[in-house]
């Protein structure tokens, strides 16, 4: 499926909330470290990580120190924001390695095989995703690569752990698309993620939780999604083929 909108991401703070750009940056770094720690601490078998060619040595040192295994799968060119497919590497331009972080070599090879054969359920199992959410992703990703609770619009309430409406900007607790805003399995896993995040950066973790629990408007149409919070507005690309705007007015439980 070809894109109709080039990849981009923009965030604009509201007046008086300019500090949120730095806060989002810290939340994004906290999430990346939580990906690593969730594997290290044994809460899941694998994580997806991206290793920049320019900090390969630093990442290798950290992975080896923690007695973990990085299994490279493919090289990708850089892109802005999120992506549903990898960008071809242009000779002479920077790239990163996409691969899995696991506790064992065997799990790394299982992940690599599942990725090659596109066995999403196996990938979801290794990544610690709830079975219901893996099935939701497998069913819906081929028809919409940004499946934020397809079929829902208008006023929606749910758990902050299930909220992926700000993932484009680095703000999320869990790493998967929840099958519903009230998925109990996602909430349970999210509580583990949140505990790990508080061990990394308590203040950022608590601000993240409050952000995902607060009012958010997610407005998608013509391949562009605008997400508004009390502190900032974010714009990015999304799935373009919908017949009318889909707007979700979120409030966490």
Query: How do residues 53-68 score in pLDDT, each as one tens digit?
Result: 777 788 889 999 999 9
Residue 241 has pLDDT above 50, yes or no: yes
What Å distances lie between residue 207 and 162, 186, 231, 248, 251, CA to CA? 16, 20, 12, 22, 16
For the question of whether the overall pTM of this predicted structure is more than 0.85, the answer is yes
Q: How many CB atoms lie within 10 A of CB 214?
A: 15
Per-residue model confidence as pLDDT tens digits over 152-176: 999 999 999 999 999 999 999 999 9
Residue 224 has pLDDT above 50, yes or no: yes
pLDDT at position 93: 65
pLDDT at position 109: 97
Which of residues 164 and 85 earns the better pLDDT score?
164
pLDDT at position 78: 55
- Structural domain boundaries of the chain? 1-43+130-253, 45-127
DSSP state of 2: -
Rg (Cα) of the chain, in Å, rounded?
18
**Encoded tokens for 115:** 């990725």
């Amino acid at each position: 499926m070809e894109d109709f909108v080039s990849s981009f991401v923009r965030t604009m703070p509201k007046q008086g909330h300019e500090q949120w750009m730095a806060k989002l940056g810290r939340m994004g770094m906290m999430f990346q470290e939580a990906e690593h720690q969730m594997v290290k601490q044994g809460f899941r078998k694998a994580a997806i990580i991206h290793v920049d060619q320019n900090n390969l040595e630093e990442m290798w040192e950290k992975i080896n120190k923690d007695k973990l295994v990085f299994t490279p799968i493919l090289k990708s060119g850089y892109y802005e924001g999120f992506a549903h497919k990898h960008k071809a590497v242009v000779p002479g331009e920077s790239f990163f390695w996409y691969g899995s972080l696991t506790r064992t070599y065997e799990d790394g090879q299982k992940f690599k095989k599942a990725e090659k054969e596109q066995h999403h359920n196996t990938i979801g199992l290794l990544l610690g995703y709830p079975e219901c959410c893996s099935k939701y992703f497998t069913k819906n990703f081929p028809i919409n690569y940004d499946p934020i609770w397809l079929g829902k619009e208008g006023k929606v309430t749910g758990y902050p752990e299930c909220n992926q409406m700000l993932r484009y900007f680095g703000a999320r607790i869990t790493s998967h698309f929840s099958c519903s805003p009230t998925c109990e399995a996602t909430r349970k896993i999210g509580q583990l993620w949140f505990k790990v995040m508080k061990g990394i950066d308590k203040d950022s973790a608590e601000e993240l939780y409050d952000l995902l629990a607060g009012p958010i408007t997610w407005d998608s149409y013509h391949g562009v999604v605008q997400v508004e919070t009390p502190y900032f507005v974010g714009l990015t690309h999304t799935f373009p083929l919908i017949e009318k705007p889909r707007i979700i007015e979120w409030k966490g439980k």
